[in-house]
Amino acid sequence: MTTSVKVSAKYQIAVPQIARKKLNIKQGDRLLVDVQDGVIILIPQPKRYTDYLHGLHSEIWKGVNVRKYLNGERGAWTNSARD
């Protein structure tokens, strides 16, 4: 999907309808603006970052007992404080 928008005299743009529908953007929603290598990226700002990040990189933890891992890390902190 490629479309163009016009920058107004106040440097404003309108988000095209097709993009609003695909991303479920409503009036009053906020967008994050990022610039990377000369490209402007608009991303809908999550209402709750915890929901947005839930499950991120879950493949790293496949087959790992998370409680055992965390207890090991906590033990390392406790033991290093005694040294």
Q: Measured between alpha carbons, how far is 29 from 66 in angstroms, rounded to an integer? A: 36
Confidence (pTM): 0.55
User: DSSP secondary structure string, 6-74?
Assistant: ---TTS-----HHHHHHHT--TT--EEEEEETTEEEEEEPPS-HHHHHTTTTGGGGTT--HHHHHHHHH
pLDDT digits (tens, 9 = 90+) for 5-61: 999 999 999 999 999 999 999 999 999 999 999 999 998 888 887 876 787 888 888
Q: Which of residues 49 and 70 earns the better pLDDT score?
A: 70
Domain ranges (residues) in the chain: 17-82
